[in-house]
Structure formats: C-alpha cells, structure tokens
Structure 1
Amino acid sequence: MHTSWLTADQYASLSTQVQGAFIAPLPAFESLLVGGIDNRKYLQGQITCDVDQLTDSNFLHGAHCDAKGKMWSQFYLATYGDQLITVAFRDELTASTAQWKKFGVFSKVSFDAGQSQFACFGLGGDNVASLIQQLGFDVPKRGGLSRSNGALLLALTDDHFLLLMPLDDARTLMQQPLPFAAPTVWLVQHIKHGFSYLEQGLIGEFVPQMLNLQALDAISFSKGCYIGQETVARLKYRGGNKRAAFILQADSAELPAAGTDIDIQLGENWRRSGQVVNAANIHNQLWIIAVLPNDITPADSLRLSSDSAPALHITPLPYSLN
C-alpha cells in the first residue's frame, strides 16, 4: 500500500465484519486530471463513451482500447472545474495514462496524476443513503453525481458508490467514528453488481463486450471515431464475440489471482474454459467475475484451476446481455 492519506495502522484496523452501510478506503484506485482546452475533443477520439454527454451532474463509464479494440482500461469520467477527472484501478489507469500522454503531444491537453490530490472510497450496504447524507451529500441516482466541498460521489448503482475526496479531507474523514470497512467488502459488492476492472496481467486482453460494457452503458455506438471503434462496432453489428463476463461463487478459502484459469467439465475430462478477472473472498465465501464462453449455463460444471479445485457456481447477472 502506497498512500499518503491512509496509515498502515488504519488499514490494518479495517474489518470485513460490517453490518449495514459502510465506507471502505480504496487505496488501489486512483485518479487522473485531464486539462487543457482540447481535453474533451482529445478524449472523445480515444474512448468508448460519448464525452459530449458529460455534464456536471453525471459521470460516464467508459473504456480505452488499443487499435485492435483490446482494452487498456475501463474507468469513470467526470468534470472537475474546467478539467476532466478519470477514476480507475491503479494498473489500468497507469497503462492508459502512458498511451494518452504519448499521443496527447499533438493536442492542447495536459495530464496530472490525482493521487497527490485525491483519495478514493467505496460506499455501499443497507441504508447507505443515510450514510451519504451524514457525509454531506445529496443521494444521486444511478449514473448521477453529487458534489460537496470539492468531493465527488458517483452512483455506480442505486446502492453502490465511488467517492473521490481531497486528501486533507480524506485524512480528517479517517479520524471520524464512521462504519469503515476493508476494501474487500466493497469489492465483493462490485463483483455482485457485475462490474470489473483490469489488473496488470489482463491489460490488452479483452474487447469491451467481453466484460459486458455494452450492458453497462459504457460504449456509445453513435459517437464519432475513436481508437478501436472498428472492432467494437463490428462485434455489435456483425456478431462474432463469443465471450462474456459472469459472476461465480464458491465455498473456498482461496483467492485466485487475475488470469487464473477456470475449467469446464466435458464428459470425464476438464478443459480450460475461461479466466478470472477479479476475485474477492470474505469468510471463505469466494466471489469471482470471470470471462467465459457466452453460451455457458448454470448447468455446466465449472471449477477453479488450482490445487484444491473448488466447484464454481454461476449466479445471475443483475443486467441483461441482450
């Protein structure tokens, strides 16, 4: 953990034993400020979401792809004064920032790392609206954004939130008697909602539809050209994508790394079928979001490719892939 706003003692004290609403520090999530008079125009030609739809009261979920349509990152994008701010998992944000800077030299655009200015938290749980109001925010609806004293609260769903807060305020917040939880608590909820992020080994491996981004309103099929658009559009209009993200659960103490294989049983044999994207484990309840063939069904027998090889069970996605 490398952060200036969360001490090692504070991090160690975070618990997975939480009831009701919670707030979880997310030191592995970071932000990037995109400035300059061309910031909107530049990002519009880089990412899957339609920057023209961005206002001060909403945010966009999007992806950044290479020329072949494989993702460098997926992220959340909002306005911050005359700048734009992106929030994403550290690995993928680092990958995209390097690419944006490389091509940004031809535009009037600037990039400033946000980790020296902002801290990221996740909120969720039963009656989270009361906690949000206690923190001084109006409660936004899904896709909406609420602001308070320089902080941004993004409603990923109606009960699952990201909070971006100035560092000094984050340090003060960590001293308050609030229902703090370990990041794992929020990450389990993230998986249960069918969301994902890209860890280092999976950057450049998936087209957006393999992580269901078309179902999460993270792809605009009506905006102008962007890097990788040809592949992304072809998969929508001509088909050909054979994989999707699924939520899996197991009774297991394991915590597989991103990229770990998932096997399917075919007769008496097992064959590699997919791979783990993200995993979180609380009290021997393992939750995984994984990329698998899109014709997989709950009747198929799946297991984690590991020494103990726990059986994996598909749980329903909270959205439709059709």
Structure 2
Amino acid sequence: MHTSWLTAEQYAALSTQVQGAFISPLPAFESLLISGPDNRKYLQGQTTCDLDQLNDDNFLHGAHCDAKGKMWSQFYLVSHAQQLISIAFRDELNASGAQWKKFGVFSKVSFEAGQQHFAVFGLGGENVATLVSQLGFKLPQRGELARHNGALLLALAIDHFMLLMPVAEAQQLMQQKLPFAAPNVWLARHIQHGFSYLEQGLIGEFVPQMLNLQALNAISFTKGCYIGQETVARLKYRGGNKRAAYILTADTDEVPKAGTDIEIQLGENWRRSGQVVNAANIHNQLWLIAVLPNDITPADSLRLSSDSAPALRIVPLPYSLN
C-alpha cells in the first residue's frame, strides 16, 4: 500500500466484521487526470466507450485494448472541471496510462497521476442509501453520477458505489465515526455484481467480451473507430468468442492469485478449464470471478487448482450475457 491519504494504522484497523452499509477505502484503485482540448477526441479513438455520451450527470464504463483487441484495462470515466478522470485498479491504470501517454504526443492532451489529488472509496451493503445521504449526496441510480463538494459518487449498481474524493476531504473523512470496512468487503460485493478488474498478470490476456463488458454497457458498437475495434466488433457480429466471466464461490480459507487455474472434471480426470480473474475471501467464504468456457453449467464439477483443491460452485450472474 502506498498512498498519501490513508495511514498504515487506519488501514490495519479496517475490519471485515461489518453489518449493513459500509464504506471501504480502496488504496489499490487510483485515478488518472486527462486534460487538454483534445482529451475527449483522443480517448474516443482509444476506448470502447462512446465519449459523446459522457455528461455531468453520468459516467462511462469502458475498456482500452491493444490492436488485437486484448485489454490493457477496464475503467470508469468521469468529467470533472474540464478534465476527464479515469478510475481503475492501479495495475491496469498504469498500463493504459503508459500507452495513452506514448501516443498522446500527437494530440493536444496531457496526463497526470491522480493519487495526490483524489482518493477512492467503495460503498455498499444493506441500507447504503442512508450512508450516501449521510455523506451529503443525493442517491444516484445505476449509471448516474452524484456530486458534492468536489467529490463524485458513481452508482455501479443499485447498492454498489465508487466514491472519488479530494485527498484533503478523504483524510478528514477517515477521522469520522463511519462504518469503515476492509477493501475485501467491497471487492467481494464487486465480484458478486459480476464486475472485475485486471491485475498485472492478466493485462493483455482478454478481449472485453471475456469479462462480459458487452453486458455491462462498457462497449459501444455504434461509435467510430478505436484501437482493437475490428476484433471486438467481429466477436459480436460473427461470433467466435467462446469464453465469459462467471461468479464462483467455495468454502475455504484460500485466496488464489489472479491467473490461478480452475479445473473441470471429465470422467475420472481433471482438466484446466479457466482461470481466476479476481478473488476475495470473507470469513472463509471465497468469492471469485473467473473466465471459463461460455457453455459451462452449474452441473459441471469445478475445483480450484491448489493444494486443497476446494470445490467451486457457480453463482448466477446478476445480468444477462445475451
């Protein structure tokens, strides 16, 4: 953990023993500030989302791909004070930031790391609307953005939020008597909503549809050209994508790393079938989002490839892949 707004003592005090609504500091998520008169035009040609749809009252979920359609990152994009702010897991934000800066020299656009300016939190849990109101926000609906005193609240789902807050206000917030929870609490909810992010070992491994981004309104199939569009569009209109992201759970104390194999039973043998994308463990209940063949069914026997090889159960996605 390296952050200017959360102390080691505060981080160590965070608990997974929470009931009801909670707020989790997310020091592994950061922001990138994108400025300049060409910032929208530039990102329009770089990402899967349609910048023409971004306004002051919403945010965009999108992906940044290489020329072969494999993802450098997926992110959330907001407009703030004539800047664009991309919010993502640190590994993928660094990967995309490096690529954007490399090719941005040909446009009137500039980039600045946002960790000295903004902190990222996650909100969720039962009756989270009360906590949202306590923090001074009007409750946004899914896909909407609420603003309050320079802070931005993104409604990723009905009861699942991401909060971007100026560092000084974040430091003050950490002094308040609020239901703070460990990041894993929010990350487990993130997985349960069918969301994911890219850790270092998986950057450049997946096309957006493998992480269900078409079902999460993170791909525009009507905008103009962008890097990787040919592959992404071909998978939609001609088929060919044979993999998707699934939610899995197991009773175990393990927390597998991103990229850990998942195996399927075929007769008396086990064969590699997919891999872990993200994992969170709350009180020996493991939650995974994993890429698997898109014809997998709950009747299939799955296990984690590890010493204890816990059995994995498929949990229905909260959205349709069709």
TM-score category by the smaller chain?
A: over 0.9
Instruction: Kindly report which structure 2 residues correspond to 1:1-322, keeping only aligned pairs within 5 A, or say none.
Output: 1-322=1-322
**Counterpart code for 2:149:** N
- Determine helix, strand or coil for the equivalent of 1:264: strand
**Counterpart code for 2:111:** F
- Determine helix, strand or coil for the equivalent of 1:206: coil
Q: How far apart are residue 81 of structure 1 and its match? A: 1.2
Task: Measure, in 2, the Cα distance between the counterparts of 1:158 and 1:250.
Answer: 25
Task: Measure, in 1, the Cα distance between the counterparts of 2:79 and 2:197.
Answer: 21
Give structure 1 stretches of 5+ with no counterpart. Answer: none
**Counterpart code for 1:237:** Y
**Counterpart code for 2:291:** V
1:14-62 deviation digits (Å, cap 9, x = unpaired): 0000000000000000000100000000000000000000000000000
Task: Measure, in 1, the Cα distance between the counterparts of 2:213 and 2:199.
Answer: 17
Task: Measure, in 1, the Cα distance between the counterparts of 2:47 and 2:171.
Answer: 33
- Determine helix, strand or coil for the equivalent of 2:168: helix
1:189-219 deviation digits (Å, cap 9, x = unpaired): 0000000000000000000000000000000
Task: Measure, in 2, the Cα distance between the counterparts of 1:53 and 1:5.
Answer: 32
Q: How far apart are residue 119 of structure 1 and its match? A: 0.3
Task: Measure, in 2, the Cα distance between the counterparts of 1:46 and 1:231.
Answer: 14
- Determine helix, strand or coil for the equivalent of 2:197: coil
**TM-score calculated relative to the size of structure 1:** 1.00
% identical equivalent positions: 82
**Counterpart code for 1:132:** V
**Counterpart code for 2:56:** D
Task: Measure, in 2, the Cα distance between the counterparts of 1:112 and 1:52.
Answer: 23
**Counterpart code for 1:278:** N
Task: Measure, in 2, the Cα distance between the counterparts of 1:30 and 1:199.
Answer: 13
**TM-score calculated relative to the size of structure 2:** 1.00
Task: Measure, in 2, the Cα distance between the counterparts of 1:80 and 1:297.
Answer: 43
Q: Let me know the Cα RMSD of the aligned residues.
A: 0.3
Q: How far apart are residue 227 of structure 1 and its match? A: 0.1
- Determine helix, strand or coil for the equivalent of 2:41: helix
* Greater than 6 Å deviation, 4+ residue runs: none
Q: How far apart are residue 68 of structure 1 and its match? A: 0.1
- Determine helix, strand or coil for the equivalent of 1:130: helix
Q: How far apart are residue 297 of structure 1 and its match? A: 0.1
Q: How far apart are residue 175 of structure 1 and its match? A: 0.1
Task: Measure, in 2, the Cα distance between the counterparts of 1:102 and 1:211.
Answer: 26
Task: Measure, in 1, the Cα distance between the counterparts of 2:4 and 2:231.
Answer: 40
- Determine helix, strand or coil for the equivalent of 1:57: coil
- Determine helix, strand or coil for the equivalent of 2:272: strand
1:78-122 deviation digits (Å, cap 9, x = unpaired): 101111001000000000000000000000000010001000000
Task: Measure, in 1, the Cα distance between the counterparts of 2:159 and 2:195.
Answer: 13
**Counterpart code for 1:130:** T
- Determine helix, strand or coil for the equivalent of 1:10: helix
Q: How far apart are residue 256 of structure 1 and its match? A: 0.1
**Counterpart code for 1:125:** G
Task: Measure, in 2, the Cα distance between the counterparts of 1:283 and 1:42.
Answer: 44
Q: How far apart are residue 4 of structure 1 and its match? A: 1.0
Task: Measure, in 2, the Cα distance between the counterparts of 1:280 and 1:29.
Answer: 15
- Determine helix, strand or coil for the equivalent of 2:156: strand
Task: Measure, in 2, the Cα distance between the counterparts of 1:248 and 1:85.
Answer: 32
Task: Measure, in 1, the Cα distance between the counterparts of 2:103 and 2:96.
Answer: 11
Task: Measure, in 2, the Cα distance between the counterparts of 1:82 and 1:251.
Answer: 47
